[in-house]
């Protein structure tokens, strides 16, 4: 479990910090780099996942159907800020006078913040958003479930808006309820409550292409004093495909979920620190374990 966010940090200094590497996709990576630089931390962006529109026509067709009927379902769960940003295209129109019953689910504060902006642009307020409480130990499907469970009963319809790896998106059948990393459990809970669960793929996740320049950069970033911030197990998998196991024994990882922390340990990172994903928590973790240069 993550440490109590209200507790005073306990300092366990590691190697002097040289760089904090942000692995989130753009535009989140740049936003995080700017925020950390403003606090004096030497942040750099290396988005290990790039985000693109779905390549396959059948996936885009399903997405178009979901956009056209977005207010016909009882709840829409967005798995990430990217899911919000890529679902709400210009084709998603504001409601025209009808009473809106749809609830909007977010597993964490980043997704909730993206939803606030997307819904406001369509005349809907933040009171329609459901998310884990701000003091939750983790932000994930498990902590979202107690918040949204009272909404479900037989006949309710739930749409999951998510991404897919580029090599997997083409194999997704139209209309299938899509389980994703960390979403299977929530989908099963919704179905057990009698809800009909459907899903659409709003974007594709792609790995970085290996180049000599990237390999040189990664070699430097494996040295002591490198701290990698991971918010995705898939980002770690992409890194592992670029660099063999055991290369990271001198580097450190900040992981925003226990499952990601376990993956970082398995990848060979010499030290792994768990933190909640919100910026204040990441700053607190950095301050607890490293000295600001």
Same domain, 94 and 112: yes
pLDDT of 89 reads 85
Packing angle of the helix pair 233-242, 212-220 (nearest 10 deg): 110
Alpha helices in the chain (DSSP H): 28-38, 57-68, 81-87, 109-120, 141-148, 166-169, 184-192, 212-220, 233-242, 258-267, 279-289
Range of the domain at 91: 52-206
Residue 198 sits in a domain whose CATH number is: 3.40.50.10090
Please tell me the predicted confidence (pLDDT) of residue 5: 43
Given CA atoms 48, 51, 56, 62 in this order, what sign does their dihedral have?
Answer: positive
Distance of CA 115 to the CA centre of its chain: 14
Which residues touch 252 (CB under 8 Å, ≥6 apart)?
Answer: 14, 15, 226, 227, 228, 269, 270, 271, 272, 273, 289
Q: Which residues of the chain have pLDDT under 50?
A: 1-12, 169-181
Q: Please count the structural domains in the chain.
A: 2
- Give the pTM: 0.77
Asked if residue 56 and residue 36 are part of one domain, the reply reads no
Question: Beta strand pairing status for 129-130 and 19-22?
Answer: unpaired
pLDDT tens for 217-275 read: 998 899 889 999 999 898 998 998 888 766 899 999 999 999 899 999 999 999 999 99
Residue 12 counted as domain residue: no
**206, 233, 261: which is the final residue of a domain?**
206
Say if CB 228 and CB 21 are below 8 A apart.
Answer: yes
Residues 287 and 263: beta-carbon distance below 8 Å? no
CB-CB contact of 237 with 165 (8 Å): no
CA separation, residue 204 to residues 1, 19, 146, 221, 274 (Å): 30, 29, 29, 27, 27
Q: Is 4 domain-assigned? A: no
Final residue in a domain of this structure, among 175, 206, 237: 206
pLDDT of residue 293: 67
């Amino acid at each position: 479990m993550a440490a109590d966010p209200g507790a005073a940090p306990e300092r366990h200094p590691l190697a002097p910090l040289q760089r904090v590497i942000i692995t989130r996709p753009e535009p989140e990576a740049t936003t995080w780099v700017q925020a950390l630089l403003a606090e004096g931390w030497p942040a750099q962006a290396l988005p290990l996942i790039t985000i693109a529109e779905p390549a396959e026509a059948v996936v885009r067709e399903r997405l178009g159907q979901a956009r056209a009927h977005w207010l016909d379902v009882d709840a829409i769960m967005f798995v990430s800020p990217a899911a919000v940003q890529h679902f709400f295209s210009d084709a998603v129109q504001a409601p025209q006078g009808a009473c809106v019953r749809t609830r909007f689910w977010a597993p964490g504060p980043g997704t909730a913040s993206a939803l606030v902006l997307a819904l406001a642009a369509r005349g809907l307020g933040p009171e329609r958003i459901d998310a884990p409480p701000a003091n939750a130990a983790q932000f994930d499907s498990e902590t979202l479930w107690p918040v949204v469970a009272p909404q479900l009963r037989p006949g309710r319809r739930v749409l999951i808006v998510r991404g897919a790896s580029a090599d997997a998106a083409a194999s997704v059948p139209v209309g299938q309820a899509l389980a994703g990393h960390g979403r299977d459990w929530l989908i099963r809970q919704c179905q057990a409550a009698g809800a009909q669960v459907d899903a659409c793929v709003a974007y594709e996740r792609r790995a970085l292409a290996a180049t000599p320049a990237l390999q040189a950069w990664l070699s430097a970033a494996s040295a002591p004093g490198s701290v990698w911030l991971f918010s995705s197990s898939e980002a770690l998998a992409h890194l592992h495909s670029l660099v063999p196991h055991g290369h990271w024994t001198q580097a450190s990882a900040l992981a925003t979920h226990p499952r990601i922390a376990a993956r970082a340990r398995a990848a060979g990172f010499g030290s792994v620190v768990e933190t909640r994903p919100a910026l204040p928590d990441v700053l607190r973790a950095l301050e607890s374990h490293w000295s600001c240069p």
